Amino acid sequence: MISQRNSSTKTVSSNTKNINSASLLCIKKSNQRCYDSKRSVSNSESSSIDPQELQLMQKQTQKRSSTASSVIETTQINEEKKKVIYIFKKRTLSNQFEESLLFEISKYLKTEQDYKNYSQINNRFSKIISKYHYNPIKSFLLFKEVTTQFLFTKKDIRLPKANKFVWLFPVHIGEALRYSPERNIFRNIKLTQNYIHFHGDLIPVETNIIGDKTFFMRKDLISITIPTRVRCLQSAVFEGCCSLKEINIPSSVTSLGERCFKGCTSLTSCKMTESIRSIGRECFNECYSLKNIELPSLLVSIKEYSFLKCPFNEMIQIPQLLQLLPLSCFEYSTQLRNVIFHSSVESLGEHCFAHCIRLDRIELPASLTSLGEGCFCYCENLKEVIINEQLHVLPKNCFENCESLELVINSQFIHQLNESVFENCCSLQTILLSPYLQRLPQNCFFNCCSLKEIDLPFTLTSIESNCFYNCKCLETIDLPSHFKEIHSNSFAFCTSLEYISLPRSITLFGNNCFKQCLKLKQHINVPDCCFQQISFF
């Protein structure tokens, strides 16, 4: 008995070299499903399974899907794989798998080679392939009994013996109507601008795709009904329809193409269902009247400028599956007051919320690790920002011209500040800097005219040009003992500055670094260039 088992195992190992990763996944899934479905069988039936098989099946059912994926990715077939395939073949040959289950397994296969490998496992598998009455892949040579042919491209040769044809590629609606509906099934009927031009604005119920620019620049279009079979709106479908006021998107639609509703200046409401997964570039750009919109909770992708210049009402909630908000996504949303982020958001793109002039408070989620340049610039009413512990860099112009900004909570976690990050934040009175900060970049606190005090970290070595320019309320500055460089105009027009500690380690005093600091001039001994005024005329 032992010798027979060893010989069968050797046979299995030689055959398994032809079984690819997709086939192995099917084997593992089917083994688990079969074991789960037969856990409650009688003892007489379970006794036919040897202890090694039972132990392995219990082990497989306890493993997570991650274990299965790691097994598939390993190119060399190890001993565990051999045991899995051995048990699978054993149970198959002993008719413990029903044909319906084997047929379900075959649906996981993707390529012609997958099906060839599958049919070579044994005769039962070969018979399963022969029972297909349609071709699940482009090649139909393996499937001898095809009566319904799937067409994957326009160039596919149609079989004379096929009774029905399923067209999987996009077909213009005019062409689809020329074929007999009894023998032809179209999965992707596409509506085009030409069809609308000759047949009117009514969208046929058979439509699955509304093609590019179908209603482009139709200024007379006031309302439209989208049929429930439509799955996709392609690019610029309703672009420039300036009279369109309201639209309901059915639950069948999963994606909105780029510029789909761009320039629909009268659009006040767009009802989107939970089925929508992606919104294209500039999809709602320049929809100046769009105030009522709720982002689908299963939305996974938003492209650049998607909601640029959409006013919005009060609040917007970012869906839980969105990880990135791209360039200028909500820029110039002038009525937006509050943004609720989900914990999945990792990055905000450049100018993402720039010019949101009514936005008054921002709490960045714990998952956020990066901000784009000018992300919140010109948010004139923004008063409070709460930074998470994972965010360590503030990019250029991040809060530039946030004139009402008073409080930046957790700013000590920011290890790097970039140019003009708080420029013209006229209401900022104090800020806590990170103990790891090494430089303050140019224009960092430019014209922060309410800034009264700031504690510089002992790691700081350089203050660059115009860093504290026109900080009129700043009175004292303590430079750390290893500080080295004060660049030009660093403290220019700090008219209230009375005291600054100057360590001996300083190697550079830039031109006009203390320009118009009249209260300071009589208390320090520095080169004349620090106070002199240079005329360019």
Res 526: pLDDT = 86
| DSSP letter, residue 237 | S
More confidently predicted of 88 and 283: 283
Q: Tell me: the pLDDT tens digits for 72-119?
A: 444 445 565 555 555 566 555 546 667 788 888 888 888 889 888 888
Q: Tell me: the pLDDT tens digits for 162-182?
A: 999 999 999 999 999 899 889
Res 217: pLDDT = 96
Q: What mean pLDDT comes out for the span 504-532? A: 88
374 is a domain residue: no
How large a percentage of the chain has pLDDT more than 70?
Answer: 81
Per the CB < 8 A criterion, the answer to whether 333 and 306 are in contact is no
Q: Tell me: the pLDDT tens digits for 395-449?
A: 999 999 999 999 999 999 999 999 999 999 999 999 999 999 999 999 999 999 9
Res 84: pLDDT = 57
Per the CB < 8 A criterion, the answer to whether 507 and 529 are in contact is no
More confidently predicted of 35 and 272: 272
pLDDT surpassing 50 at residue 56: yes
Q: Tell me: the pLDDT tens digits for 308-331?
A: 999 887 889 999 999 999 999 999
463 is a domain residue: yes
529 is a domain residue: yes
Res 123: pLDDT = 78
Q: Tell me: the pLDDT tens digits for 46-55?
A: 444 455 555 5
**Containing structural domain, residue 9:** 2-38+49-122
pLDDT surpassing 60 at residue 26: no
Cα 109 to chain centroid, rounded:
29
pLDDT surpassing 80 at residue 193: yes
Between helix 21-37 and helix 99-106 the angle, nearest 10°, is 150
Per the CB < 8 A criterion, the answer to whether 480 and 502 are in contact is no
95 is a domain residue: yes
Res 533: pLDDT = 61
| Domain boundary residue, one of 95, 122, 149 | 122
| Domain boundary residue, one of 87, 122, 157 | 122
| Length of the chain, in residues | 537
Q: What mean pLDDT comes out for the span 366-372? A: 96
Res 45: pLDDT = 40
134 is a domain residue: no
pTM score above 0.85: no
Res 13: pLDDT = 41
16 is a domain residue: yes
Res 76: pLDDT = 46
pLDDT surpassing 60 at residue 44: no
Q: Tell me: the pLDDT tens digits for 338-360?
A: 999 988 999 999 999 999 999 99
Question: Looking at residue 503, which CATH number applies to its domain?
Answer: 3.80.10.10
| Domain boundary residue, one of 63, 91, 122 | 122
Res 98: pLDDT = 76
For residue 191, list its beta bridge partners: 210
Provide the mean pLDDT of the chain.
Answer: 85
137 is a domain residue: no
Give the count of domains, the chain: 2
Question: How far apart, in whole angstroms, are the C-alpha atoms of residue 356 and residue 335?
Answer: 7
> Cβ contacts of residue 101 below 8 Å, gap of 6+?
30, 33, 34
Q: What mean pLDDT comes out for the span 222-240? A: 96
Q: Which sign, positive or negative, has the C-alpha torsion 194, 195, 197, 201?
A: negative
502 is a domain residue: yes
Residue 365, number of CB atoms within 10 A of its CB: 17
pLDDT surpassing 70 at residue 4: no
